[in-house]
Amino acid sequence: MDDWFDTDVTSDVGDTDETTHSDPTAARALSVVNNTDSDDDWFTAAAPEPAAPTTAEIPTPRTASAPARRRGVVVAVGALAALLALAGGAAVLVAAAMPGDTQNLTIPESATPTLVPATPTPAPPWCSGLAAGEPASTSASDPGAATIAGFETAYYERRDAGLARSYVAADAHVGSIEELGAGIASVPSGTRHCVLTTRLQPGLYAVDLFTRTAVGGALEQIRQTITTVDSPTGPKGALITSISAREGK
- Going by C-alpha positions, the residue among 168, 141, 139, 157 that lies closest to residue 209 is 157
pLDDT band for position 217 (cuts 50, 70, 90)? confident
Structural domain contains residue 196: yes
- Tell me what pLDDT residue 8 has: 47
For the chain, what is the mean pLDDT?
73
Structural domain contains residue 80: no
The per-residue pLDDT for range 183-194, each reduced to its tens digit, is: 999 999 889 999
CA distances from residue 170 to 119, 162, 180, 241 in whole angstroms, order as listed: 41, 12, 14, 8
Q: CB under 8 Å to 72, separation ≥6 — which residues?
A: 64
- Tell me what pLDDT residue 77 has: 53
Share of the chain above pLDDT 70, in %: 51
Q: CB under 8 Å to 104, separation ≥6 — which residues?
A: none
Structural domain contains residue 170: yes
pLDDT band for position 227 (cuts 50, 70, 90)? very high
Structural domain contains residue 169: yes
Span 41-64, average pLDDT: 51
Q: What is the CATH number of the domain that holds 226?
A: 3.10.450
In what helix (H) or strand (E) does residue 82 lie, and over which residues does it extend?
Answer: helix 66-97
Question: Which of 8-12, 55-59, 81-85 bottoms out in mean pLDDT, i.e. has the lowest?
Answer: 8-12
Q: Are 200 and 142 in contact (CB under 8 A)?
A: no
Structural domain contains residue 39: no
Q: CB under 8 Å to 166, separation ≥6 — which residues?
A: 154, 235
Span 61-88, average pLDDT: 55
The per-residue pLDDT for range 85-140, each reduced to its tens digit, is: 655 554 444 444 455 444 555 655 555 666 667 666 777 888 989 999 999 999 99
Structural domain contains residue 109: no
- Going by C-alpha positions, the residue among 192, 193, 197 that lies closest to residue 131 is 197
Residue type, 28: R
Q: Which long-range contacts (CB under 8 A, 24 or more apart) does 1-10 make?
A: none
- The count of residues in the chain is 249
- Alpha-carbon distance 179 to 155, whole Å? 12
For 194, the domain range is: 134-245
pTM of the full structure: 0.53
**Which comes out higher in pLDDT, residue 160 or 8?**
160
pLDDT band for position 178 (cuts 50, 70, 90)? very high
Structural domain contains residue 60: no
CB-based burial label for 213 (10 Å; 0-12, 13-18, 19+): middle
Structural domain contains residue 32: no
- Alpha-carbon distance 147 to 166, whole Å? 10
What total of structural domains would you count in the chain?
Answer: 1
- Tell me what pLDDT residue 133 has: 93
Span 131-159, average pLDDT: 96
